Amino acid sequence: MNNPATLTWLAGHELKLGWRDWVALMTAGRRNRARTVAIALIVFAAFMHLFAYWIVAGYADAAVAADTATLVGITGTLVLSWSLLLSQAMESVTRAFYSRSDLDLILTSPVSARKVFAVRMGRIAAASVTIAVLLAAPFIDVLAVRGGARWLSAYGVVAGMGAAATAAALALTIALFRLIGAKRTRLIAQIVAAVIGAAFVIGLQVAAILSSGSISRFAALQSPWMLAHAPDTQSAFWWPAHAVLGDPRALVAVVALSFTVLGLSILAFSRRFGEHAMAAASVGSAVVRQHRWRLGFRRRSPARVLRQKEWTLLARDPWLASQTLMQILYLLPPALLLWVTFRDAAGSYVVLIPVVVMAAGQLAGGLAWLSISGEDAPDLIASAPIAPRRALRAKIEAVMGMIALLFAPIVAVLALESLFAAFVSALGILIGAAAATLIQICFRTQARRSQFRRRQTSSRIATFAEAFSSIAWAATSALAAAESLTALGPALIAVGIMAGVWIISPKS
Amino acid sequence: MHSPASAKRPIALAVRGLSKRFDRPAVDALDLTIYGGEFYALVGPNGAGKTTTLRMVVGLLRPDAGSIAIDGIDALADPVAAKQITAWLSDEPMIYDKLTPFEYLEFVAGLWRIDTKAAEARAHDLIGWLGLEPHAHERCEGFSRGMRQKVALAGALVHDPKLIILDEPLTGLDAGSARVVKNVLRERVAAGGTVIMTTHILEVAERMADRIGVIASGRLIAEGTLDELRHMTGKTATSLEDTFLTLVAEPVVAA
Asked whether B202 and B241 are in contact (CB, 8 A), the reply is: yes
Q: Which of A284, A295, A312 sits opposite B141 (nearest CB)?
A: A284
pLDDT over 90, % of chain B? 58
Could you give the CA distance from residue B212 to residue B226 in angstroms, rounded to a whole number? 7
| Choice between A155 and A12, residue whose per-residue pLDDT is larger | A155
User: In the predicted model, what is the mean pLDDT of residues A46-65?
Assistant: 78
The predicted-structure confidence for B38-97, as pLDDT tens digits, reads as follows 999 999 888 889 999 999 999 999 999 999 999 999 999 999 999 999 999 998 888 998
CA angle B12, B15, B17 (to 5 degrees): 170
- pLDDT band of residue B162 (cuts 50, 70, 90) is very high
Summary mean pLDDT of chain B: 88
Task: Supply φ then ψ for residue B214, to 5 degrees.
Answer: -105, 125
Chain B positions in Cβ-Cβ contact with residue A298 (cut-off 8 Å): 106, 116
pLDDT of residue B112: 93
Assess whether pLDDT exceeds 70 at residue B122.
Answer: yes
- pLDDT band of residue A41 (cuts 50, 70, 90) is confident
H or E element, residue A100: none
Assess whether pLDDT exceeds 60 at residue A488.
Answer: yes
Could you give the CA distance from residue B239 to residue B22 in angstroms, rounded to a whole number? 34
pLDDT of residue A413: 86
C-alpha Rg value of chain B to the nearest Å: 18
Residues 144-173 of B with CB under 8 A from A: 155
Task: Supply φ then ψ for residue B14, to 5 degrees.
Answer: -125, 115
Distance from CA of B177 to the nearest CA of A (A): 19
Could you give the CA distance from residue A71 to residue A77 in angstroms, rounded to a whole number? 10
CB contact under 8 A, B111 and A297: no
Chain B positions in Cβ-Cβ contact with residue A297 (cut-off 8 Å): 106, 109, 116-117, 119-120, 123
User: In the predicted model, what is the mean pLDDT of residues A346-364?
Assistant: 80
Q: Which residues pair with B196 in a beta bridge?
A: B40, B165
pLDDT of residue B244: 79
pLDDT of residue B104: 94
Which alpha helices (H) appear in chain B, and where do they start and end?
4-7, 50-57, 79-84, 101-111, 116-129, 145-157, 175-190, 202-208, 226-233, 240-254
pLDDT of residue B254: 36
pLDDT of residue A480: 92
Instruction: Residue B18: name the closest of B6, B5, B10, B28 by CA.
Output: B28
Asked whether B31 and B17 are in contact (CB, 8 A), the reply is: yes
pLDDT over 90, % of chain A? 28
pLDDT of residue B255: 32
pLDDT of residue B38: 94
Asked whether A432 and A473 are in contact (CB, 8 A), the reply is: yes
The predicted-structure confidence for B201-234, as pLDDT tens digits, reads as follows 888 888 889 999 999 889 999 898 888 888 887 7
Could you give the CA distance from residue A288 to residue B1 in angstroms, rounded to a whole number? 52
| Choice between A147 and B79, residue whose per-residue pLDDT is larger | B79
- pLDDT band of residue B177 (cuts 50, 70, 90) is confident
Q: What number of other Cβ atoms are within 10 A of residue A235's Cβ?
A: 11
Asked whether A27 and A20 are in contact (CB, 8 A), the reply is: no
Nearest-10 crossing angle of helices B175-190, B145-157: 10
Confirm or reject contact between A383 and chain B (CB < 8 A): yes
pLDDT of residue B146: 87
CB contact under 8 A, A297 and B103: no
- pLDDT band of residue A343 (cuts 50, 70, 90) is low
The predicted-structure confidence for A180-239, as pLDDT tens digits, reads as follows 887 788 778 877 887 787 776 666 666 666 665 555 555 666 667 777 777 887 888 889
Confirm or reject contact between B59 and chain A (CB < 8 A): yes
Q: What number of other Cβ atoms are within 10 A of residue A204's Cβ?
A: 21
Could you give the CA distance from residue B110 to residue A297 in angstroms, rounded to a whole number? 9
pLDDT of residue A218: 59
CA distances to A166, A258, A269 from A115, in Å = 18, 21, 11
pLDDT of residue A15: 83
The predicted-structure confidence for A77-88, as pLDDT tens digits, reads as follows 888 888 888 988
Could you give the CA distance from residue A30 to residue B80 in angstroms, rounded to a whole number? 36
CB contact under 8 A, B120 and A288: no
Q: What number of other Cβ atoms are within 10 A of residue A133's Cβ?
A: 17
Length of chain A: 508
Asked whether A474 and A428 are in contact (CB, 8 A), the reply is: yes
Start-to-end Cα distance in chain A:
49
| Choice between A295 and A68, residue whose per-residue pLDDT is larger | A68
CB contact under 8 A, B110 and A290: no
Long-range contacts of B148-152 (CB under 8 A, 24+ apart): B148/B93, B148/B95, B149/B93, B149/B173, B149/B177, B149/B181, B150/B177, B150/B180, B150/B181, B151/B93, B151/B95, B151/B101, B151/B104, B152/B89, B152/B90, B152/B93, B152/B94, B152/B95
Q: What number of other Cβ atoms are within 10 A of residue A55's Cβ?
A: 12
Summary mean pLDDT of chain A: 82
Assess whether pLDDT exceeds 50 at residue A479.
Answer: yes
Please name the residue of chain B whose CA is at the shortest distance from the CA of residue A283.
Answer: B142
User: In the predicted model, what is the mean pLDDT of residues A426-444?
Assistant: 93
pLDDT of residue A149: 85
User: In the predicted model, what is the mean pLDDT of residues B242-255?
Assistant: 63
pLDDT of residue B46: 87
pLDDT of residue A422: 92
Residue A188, C-beta contacts closer than 8 angstroms, at least 6 positions apart: A176, A180
Assess whether pLDDT exceeds 50 at residue A461.
Answer: yes
Instruction: Using DSSP, state whether B20 is helix, strand or coil.
Output: strand
Which alpha helices (H) appear in A374-459, and where do they start and end?
378-383, 388-417, 419-442, 455-458
- pLDDT band of residue A121 (cuts 50, 70, 90) is confident
Chain B positions in Cβ-Cβ contact with residue A305 (cut-off 8 Å): 106-107, 110-111
Asked whether A374 and A449 are in contact (CB, 8 A), the reply is: yes
